Amino acid sequence: MDTTQCFHCGLDIAETEVIAFDDKQFCCNGCKTVYEIFSLNDMTCYYDFEKSPGTTPLDIQGKYDFLDNESIVSKLLEFREDTTAIVSLHIPYIHCSSCIWILENLQRLQKGISTSQVNFPEKKVRITYNAEQVSLKEIVLLLSSIGYEPYISLDNYETGKTKIDHSLTYKLGVAFFCFGNIMLLSFPEYFEVKEYWLDQYRGFFRWLIFALSLPSFFYSASGYYVAAYKSIRAKMLNIEIPIALGIIVMFVRSTVDIVFDYGSGFFDSLCGLIFFMLLGKMFQIKTYSFLSFERDFKSYFPIAITKITGNVEESIPVYDIEKGDRLLIRNQELIPVDGILISDQAELDYSFVTGEAIPITKHSGDKVFAGGKQMGKVIEMEVLHTVSQSYLTQLWSNDVFQKKVDQKHKTITDKISQYFTPILLLIAFAGFGYWIFIDTDTAFNVFTAVLIVACPCALALTAPFTFGNVLRILGKRKFYLKNAMVIEQLSKVDTLVFDKTGTITTNKAATISYEGKALSDQQLLLIKSIIRTSNHPLSRMLYDFLPVGKAATVNYFQEITGKGIDAICEHVKIKIGSGAFFESHEEETAQQTAVHIQIDEVYYGKFIFNNQYRDGLEALFQKLSKQYQIKVLSGDNEGEREVLEHIVPTGTELVFNQKPEQKLEFIKALQAQGHNVMMVGDGLNDAGALAQSNVGISISENVNVFSPACDAILDATEFKRLDFFLRFSKNAMRTIYMSFALSLLYNVVGLSFAITGNLLPLVAAIIMPLSTITIVSFVTLMSNYYARKG
């Protein structure tokens, strides 16, 4: 019977069952409907990425009626504020570039969807949508109608558990069973033992070996065939193609040997090959999982939060938060966990989550989500869940805050991977063509060994494993990087820019004195209540300095970055800030850092800070000045120029009276001169400069300064080790290039032995995963060596 292929899903259909539409042929009305949807929305270029990329839509009438229940939907949503909602859906059918394209263009199919991002390895799509314009049920039905039905299991969402895939373990077990038994049955063949019973039943044993090889060939190696098939369909050549070809050639050749009684075949080598390759893959996955676990669950962000117990406020690590705790959230501070608002009102900026910087008003009793930034006066909230490290990492890595960087190592990997498979196939066929006229057995051995022994996996794994291990090591040393790209950027830095207050000075050890009209106890209490809301380093120091008392009610609060605070507390108007913030008072010229006070339009005086510089600062700057240009920026006056000039190396540029926007322009000017700039600041007041710099590092000192603008967070106690972190990043890149060379050397040597017929396929199969293990071990040992050396 004549058949044709469905234009949408590629299934074979009999000529009598074809559904024709728009000069195209479809297997069912579902595929035709999907094509119509794409046509109406001018999205037929979906079919340009790959021939017949779709899946047949299933009949789902009534299946998702449970999504009309708001309580169920609330459990599925990651985030819901005002009209904005975010959901992550697992879609098993994601398999190619067309899938990614259509799923990242859902906003063109459905009004109300603003963005959708695909996580290809996890087969997930994260959708941000307007809950007033479209419901979750409508989105799920849309996905199902175009052949991407999501897998929704409420158990997973409620318990936080994800389904673990054990298929690789089962395949490895089957391959080992087959390999072991075939080796056992093949012993008489190895030693050519002449014995009546063995000779009499040799044929039986050979067919038994053949039968034992089938589960390994069809089941254990199936992943390679599927990957190779998808690669060919997508008109790409990946490493699975030569591996699959090598396995199939070996199986066919061994089967021919048994059928025509030429010999016992190579089923032992075949099953050994599959087993060792799967073992290498298992090792790779386990190592990745270990690195991922170390990063997500052990290398915590060095940030803190203020917990209220009775009338006592204490700063605790963000990971010590427990359900039911009462937290204090200051102005510009990030809410690290979902909770219930206790204070009367809060203005929350969710740009961290949604990318939209429109504050949302919440009232007492409302639910507030992790990722919101408090704008204005201090608030209190009660915790609903413990902190999710992976969720904070995900927020931090939001595309909105990513910098465009040139990844040199990735360019090398991509170029080699692009040409590797075609060159490998060419060598394999050339070797087979040469040897076939000399020795058939050797020709097949050469063909299979070449396909198996050469592997770009080691090359491709070099960077991820090195970066993974480096992130883990740095995390343990309280230097937490946003992602692996930051390591390469750190290695390229040539200019270091430091903020002064709260960065090279410590918040804890400054001595504070007051000059001016005497302040009453009540006035001191009002000042303390106002600065309780601020996260500025000077506010935190002054708050700790002022006497303890019951917090007063703040009626109005506005913090102007780089200037100060304008507030009303217990109906008293108070201004706190730098000298430039006060119209009636000119900037002081004295050699000091000061915070001025004005109450009800009357200037009272100032708190003077005698800054304490961080331990080891002078030694650190001396080391750094040998390799980097150093600049120090400060929002203060030139009061401490003389002190600083004794600390910093000769020739260091000191720039004072810098507002936040001037710091940003300073960074831009350096970059325009061709410099790679690293900015070290306090995270909130330097957000613009941190975002502009090639690498922005936020110093954390028992304050929640977690800002999306920074690329890394450094615990203040580790500040003196900054030179080690910079040196370590350079050594990490050196390790990658060394392992590139090692991997290429392995491939050249392996291919040389294989092409000359001196390498058996089984040995090639053992060497292949060994190369991966060698590279991973090498990069792990080298990065650990450089870490210990530091």
For residue 396, name the pLDDT band (cuts at 50, 70, 90): low
- Give 741-751 pLDDT, tens digit per residue: 887 788 788 88
Between 228 and 726, the higher pLDDT residue: 726
Mean pLDDT of 286-298: 53
- Whether 698 contacts 682, CB under 8 Å: yes
% of the chain beyond a pLDDT of 70: 77
| Axis-axis angle for helices 167-185, 202-215 (nearest 10) | 170
pLDDT(156) > 50: no
Nearest to 756 by CA among 427, 496, 473: 427
Confidence (pTM): 0.62
- Give 674-703 pLDDT, tens digit per residue: 899 999 887 666 777 888 888 888 887 654
Nearest to 136 by CA among 200, 36, 188, 66: 66
Residue 605, both tokens: 């005086």
Q: Across the strands, what pairs with 334?
A: 373
- Whether 736 contacts 463, CB under 8 Å: yes
pLDDT(399) > 70: no
- Give 613-667 pLDDT, tens digit per residue: 888 888 888 888 888 888 888 877 776 777 778 888 887 888 887 777 888 889 8
Give the CA radius of gyration of the chain. Answer: 33
Mean pLDDT of 374-395: 74
- Give 451-463 pLDDT, tens digit per residue: 777 766 666 667 7
- Give 13-34 pLDDT, tens digit per residue: 777 777 777 778 777 666 676 6
pLDDT(591) > 50: no
Residue 377, both tokens: 């006066």
| Axis-axis angle for helices 222-233, 167-185 (nearest 10) | 120
**What is the per-residue pLDDT for 173?**
92
Poorest-pLDDT segment among 214-218, 341-345, 446-450: 446-450
**What is the per-residue pLDDT for 219?**
92
Would you mind telling me the total number of residues written for the chain in this entry? 790
pLDDT(590) > 50: no
Poorest-pLDDT segment among 294-303, 355-364, 453-462: 294-303
**What is the per-residue pLDDT for 157?**
46
- Where do runs of H (alpha helix) occur along 477-536? 485-492, 521-531
**What is the per-residue pLDDT for 216?**
92
Poorest-pLDDT segment among 230-239, 309-318, 337-346: 230-239
For residue 727, name the pLDDT band (cuts at 50, 70, 90): very high
Three-class HEC string of 163-217: CCCCHHHHHHHHHHHHHHHHHHHCHHHHHCCCCHHHHHCHHHHHHHHHHHHHHHH
- Give 574-586 pLDDT, tens digit per residue: 999 887 777 655 5
Give every CB contact of residue 217 below 8 A, 6+ residues apart in sequence.
Answer: 247, 251, 270, 271, 274
CA distance 719 to 711: 16
**What is the per-residue pLDDT for 661?**
80
Kindly tell me the burial class for residue 163, based on how many C-beta atoms sit within 10 Å of its own C-beta (0-12, 13-18, 19 or more).
exposed
**What is the per-residue pLDDT for 678?**
92
Report the DSSP pairing between strands 12-14 and 367-368.
Answer: unpaired
Mean pLDDT of 105-111: 82
**What is the per-residue pLDDT for 174?**
93
User: What is the number of helices (H) and of strands (E) in the chain?
Assistant: 27, 30
Beta strand spans in 279-401 (E): 304-309, 312-317, 326-329, 339-341, 345-349, 360-363, 367-368, 373-374, 379-383
CA distance 689 to 681: 8
**What is the per-residue pLDDT for 218?**
92
- Give 334-359 pLDDT, tens digit per residue: 787 888 899 888 888 777 666 566 77
Between 318 and 674, the higher pLDDT residue: 674
Q: Across the strands, what pairs with 339?
A: 368, 383
